[in-house]
Structure 1
Amino acid sequence: MKAKIRRVKDNYMTKGLKIVLTIGLLIVFQEISAQSKLNQSSEFQTEIIDSVYSEVFKEYRKFWVKFPDNYNPNSSVKYPVVYLLDGFSLRENLEEIYDNYWGHYLPHMILIGISNKTNRIRDLTTSQIKMRRGQAMNKETGGAENFTQSIEKELIPYIDNKYPTTTYRTLIGHSYAGLFTINMLVNHKHLFQNYIAIDPSLDWDHQKLLKEAKEKLSLESYKGKSLYVSLAAEQLHMWNEEITMDNIMDDASEFTLFARSIIDFSTFATSQKQNGLNFSWKVYNEDLHGTVPLPTMRDGLIFLFKWYQFKSPQKYNNPETKVEELVKLLEKQEEIYSTHFGYPFPPMIEEMFSGYGYMNLEVGQPEKAFMFFKSNIDYYPNSASAYNSMADYYEAQNDITNALRFVKKAAELSNDEYYKNRIQELKNK
């Protein structure tokens, strides 16, 4: 990014500056992200469609992959993963949420959308049934265990071998896929850390999984696991408008079994504090079954990654905060992240290190700027952008020799013409 560095006079260092700093940081943050996308789009695809052959199903199973904005195929950085069932039909929902909330609310992650078009009901349902809601069930059912085996033994190993992933995984499913998601937590909890069950079909097979889940939630440990469940309550009963959240549990008809099952599960899960499950659920009164995925993904991901949200942002924005205090804050943030992810994790994403560095350059605090730029390189040593930011720092200090040194390093890491042109510009100064 071609940064224009300017200094702000001391008489602007007022209380109102904190607001200006926040706004300025967001602008810089957006510019860095936009430039990163522009540079990367010419080098490799950020979204692809892939497939893996399944011995379980004797067919290729299709999925899509979306890389985070800072993804670099030449880097050693690895990412947590979100797996979305019904991935091709719900793709836009997940991408919209992720694109708007990564950074402060969500870490950079790889998104995987699994296709369930071939035989959806078979793959996602947890037991075989012959009747459903008073009608004959003519479709094949009860294949969830086979689908689970395919995910565990075929899909995940393939993805982990081909893409830069970590073992920190999130699973999202809607309706029958929500039923499948809860089954994964209850019976296969080693595969994922986080789960979002969107309007799950827990009424399936006379609430068979619901009953099993109650037993296991009361007896087993789910420490380190998180689950978010939603219920779309716009139409609790197909034709009786008098059924509301206040009286639905008094109704015993088949028409309310779907909603009652979710309420029953969620109420019970809330009561089981001893099992260590991080659980939350929400009733979406204005949503139908078909509209609830979007708001659930938003609220669910924010809940699952609540611990990720950046601590003490005001201190980072406050020009009076000392460098030493900022360093301690970063150390604490790194500890929080590394503890939750289970492996070493940087205290900031690359874009935030750069953003705070430029912000402090603009307000005439080069010592802080240097700390952020240097930390960026320490945590992201294969990032051309990080070295380029340090070059901006040295250029602002009129140290062209060191500015050239860091731009040359950026050029070594990237074939982007911008860095080559900038080397020449600096040589001409």
Structure 2
Amino acid sequence: MQKIQGAPEAIVVAIESKNRTWDLTPTVNQDPRGPVGQGGGADGFLNFIEKELISYIDDNYRTHDFKMISGGSIGGLFVLHAMQSQPFLFDAHFAYSPAVWWADRTTAKRVKKFLTNNKTYKSYLYMNMGNESGEMREVYEDLLSFMKSNQPEGMRFVNQAFPDVPHGLTSAAGQFNAYHNLFFPIEMPTIKVTNGVQSIIEYYAKVSHQRGKIIAPPEMVVNRIAYEFFQRRELETAVALFKYNLKTYPNHTYAYGGLADVYQSMNKREEAHSLIKSALTLLKPGDEAYEYYKNMDAELADDNKDKATF
């Protein structure tokens, strides 16, 4: 994903636990279907991650402020516990087959309370479930239903079901979609443009946050999106997008040409001609598209001359 710019570079930190049940569960279990009397160390473990581990990674590696946490089974339980108890420690949470039945469904109840009390929560959550049955699935399905009905504004939530995948493999089964749905590709899909130029500005702000550096909307991407609106005859949006592209890339000839195409279709030939002449000042004979713009310049000059004569 990183090689095709579908995701930024990432550092994966795997933590080996000497007592997984203690570290990953927030409460002591009294349910006879699980290890009775065990668990309860999750808050201490999360404190270690926040105060010691993250600081160590930041001090010793090339990082920026975008963090994800991932876990399966009681690791998934820990991920949900982290989300509701330290909601801004991580930007994204991956909970594979989370064991939310643990200890009288305590974490599931806390997650419900968190969602009820927070109408806005800008984060990302991926959850999935395999072929698990019984209490494991029952509690998960109940929590899933609640999440779908009480999803805070700004929270991106992705859920998947794998009916034929066993419990131990749901992390492997879900990883691609977990990351694919999290990261905004540098090439913005047209479907994401719901509010013209503002959509593009907001989209690339998110891309920049995920990558830890300013990512400007690429000229060719905005050009492509603008032409798609032009082809759909949504001319007002197309003009706004082409103008934004031209303002952002005043030295790119295609930014002039795109806006000229729209103006020409709207019979604003003088405006189109002015743009083409500006584009030609950036080109010289032999450059790519020089002849195309030269011919368009002559065509518009003739049209405007005939118009003046008439």
Match of 1:160 in 2: 58
Match of 1:60 in 2: none
Residue 166 (structure 2) aligned to one of 285, 288, 301: 288
- Contact map agreement 1:181 1:197 (CA 8 A) in 2: yes
Say which structure is richer in helix.
2
Cα distance change, pair 153–332 in 1 and its aligned pair in 2 (3 A): closer
Residue 142 (structure 1) aligned to one of 25, 33, 40: 40
Residue 268 (structure 1) aligned to one of 146, 155, 163: 146
Match of 2:215 in 1: 346
For 1:194 and 1:102, how far apart are their aligned partners in 2?
21
Deviation at 1:131, TM superposition (A): 4.0
For 1:312 and 1:174, how far apart are their aligned partners in 2?
31
Alignment of 1:116-265 (within 5 A): 116=17, 118-133=18-33, 137=36, 140-233=38-131, 235-236=132-133, 256-265=134-143
Residue 181 (structure 2) aligned to one of 300, 303, 308: 303
- Residues 159-214 of structure 1: CA deviation (Å, up to 9, x unaligned): 11111111110111100010000011111112101000000000001111111111
For 1:160 and 1:150, how far apart are their aligned partners in 2?
14
- Contact map agreement 1:107 1:308 (CA 8 A) in 2: no
Q: Does 1:114 align with 2:15?
A: yes
Cα distance change, pair 312–272 in 1 and its aligned pair in 2 (3 A): closer
- Structure with higher RCO (Cα < 8 A, 6+ apart): 1
For 1:343 and 1:101, how far apart are their aligned partners in 2?
14
Q: Name the count of aligned residue pairs.
A: 214
For 1:101 and 1:210, how far apart are their aligned partners in 2?
34
Deviation at 1:218, TM superposition (A): 1.0
Cα distance change, pair 331–224 in 1 and its aligned pair in 2 (3 A): closer
For 1:136 and 1:274, how far apart are their aligned partners in 2?
34
Cα distance change, pair 148–136 in 1 and its aligned pair in 2 (3 A): closer
Counterpart of 2:169 in 1: which secondary structure? coil
Cα distance change, pair 304–132 in 1 and its aligned pair in 2 (3 A): farther
Unpaired segments of 5 or more residues in structure 2? 191-199, 219-251, 253-310
Cα distance change, pair 162–285 in 1 and its aligned pair in 2 (3 A): same
- Residues 67-121 of structure 1: CA deviation (Å, up to 9, x unaligned): xxxxxxxxxxxxxxxxxxxxxxxxxxxxxxxxx56533211122211212x0100
Deviation at 1:343, TM superposition (A): 5.3
Question: TM-score, with normalisation over the residues of structure 1?
Answer: 0.45
- Contact map agreement 2:2 2:9 (CA 8 A) in 1: no
For 2:161 and 2:48, how far apart are their aligned partners in 1?
32
For 2:63 and 2:217, how far apart are their aligned partners in 1?
18
- Contact map agreement 1:198 1:231 (CA 8 A) in 2: yes
Counterpart of 1:230 in 2: which secondary structure? strand
- Contact map agreement 2:97 2:129 (CA 8 A) in 1: yes
Deviation at 1:129, TM superposition (A): 2.2
Cα distance change, pair 119–164 in 1 and its aligned pair in 2 (3 A): same
Larger Rg belongs to: 2
Counterpart of 2:12 in 1: which secondary structure? strand
For 1:272 and 1:102, how far apart are their aligned partners in 2?
36
- Contact map agreement 1:223 1:277 (CA 8 A) in 2: yes
Say which structure is richer in strand.
1
Counterpart of 2:66 in 1: which secondary structure? strand
Cα distance change, pair 182–214 in 1 and its aligned pair in 2 (3 A): same
Q: Over the residues paired in the alignment, what is the CA RMSD in angstroms? A: 3.0
Deviation at 1:275, TM superposition (A): 4.3
**Percent of aligned pairs with the same amino acid:** 24
